[in-house]
Amino acid sequence: MLAPPSLKLLLKQRTNPVHLLNVAATIGASFTFVGIAVAVNDEAALRYSLPFLIAVTPTTLIFRRSILAFSDNQYLSGLTQKGFVAITIACFVALIAIFAPYGVQRFSRLIQFRSVISFPVNQQVVAAEAALMSDREERYTRDLQSKLPAGRTIWAWLDAPFHLDFGRNRIWHFNHDWFIAPWSLHGRNAEELRQELVVRNVDYILWQHRSDFTPNLPFLRRQLQGAESVEYRVIHQNTINLLLALQTLANPLNTVYADGRTVLILLRPPSQSRPPSQENRPHSTVDIDR
């Protein structure tokens, strides 16, 4: 709503730095909000455009001869100017009052968890994250990777990909939240997933199917039964399809290794890749929560 008047004002007063600042803040807020809302989602649009929106308030209300001025030939002065200043201060006080509880919560998390993360956490989550950062988890992850030939391409979906040796293998790390990204997978079933990965020259799948951080099938199905935004419905439905496809691919003939938490899957046929070892070959497919 503010962008068209700002452009009009810019054309009239191109050399006035006050107008330029006002116009920059207004147009930046407008286009950031609309652009992110169209390209990503409404939640991210509000999050990333908030700094611009905060800047628009004082520049629009306080600066003289702004786009809210009564006349193009008159400066706001005297009681009128003081009134705009009072309104601005009231707006900021209201914003502080609204967001103060969130600031207190973040400060509390900083003291308790040494983090200013924006959403609530508990000791169980902190303990799980600490376990992922441990030397034991690093040894576990490296041991998994050592079971696959060096130099081959791995598609990896696990909680701690930073423990992988990216110099030993070409690794394509995946997270289910990326289903709204342009480079997301398009695999509605096992065969489509196989073809999608083979086209991208993937040789093996490293899939951690027991996880404290990856949603399971019951949770995803419950989310789809309730009210969800479009982007999250896309994520949840595609994650369900992916889990079922991976479960199908993790059959005994293709499984290189499985330990009840993570499974290594041979993706390419034996004629195109090294056959899997018979050691530690399971006798059943991966069982994921239904």
CA-nearest of 55, 112, 58 to 87 is 58
Give mean pLDDT, residues 31-58: 63
Tell me how far apart the alpha carbons of residues 55 and 49 are, in angstroms, rounded to a whole number: 10
Residues 171, 177: contact at Cβ < 8 Å?
A: no
Q: What is the pLDDT of residues 252-277, one digit of tens each?
A: 888 999 998 999 999 876 555 444 44
What tens digit of pLDDT does each residue of 209-247 get? 998 888 889 999 998 998 877 778 888 999 999 999 999
For residue 237, give Cα distances in angstroms to 66, 145, 178, 205. 48, 29, 13, 21
Report pLDDT digits (tens) over 159-190. 999 999 999 999 999 988 888 777 788 788 99
Q: Which candidate, 238, 278, 271, places its Cα nearest to that of 257?
A: 278
Identify which has the larger pLDDT, 115 or 134: 134
Please give the distance of CA 9 from its chain centroid, rounded to a whole number.
38
Least Cα distance to 75 among 5, 15, 14, 16 occurs for 16
Question: Following CA atoms 36, 55, 23, 61 in sequence, which dihedral angle do they give, to the nearest 10 degrees?
Answer: 130
Does the pTM surpass 0.85? The reply is no
The answer to whether the CB of 255 falls within 8 A of the CB of 263 is yes
The bridge status of strand 262-266 relative to strand 170-173 is unpaired
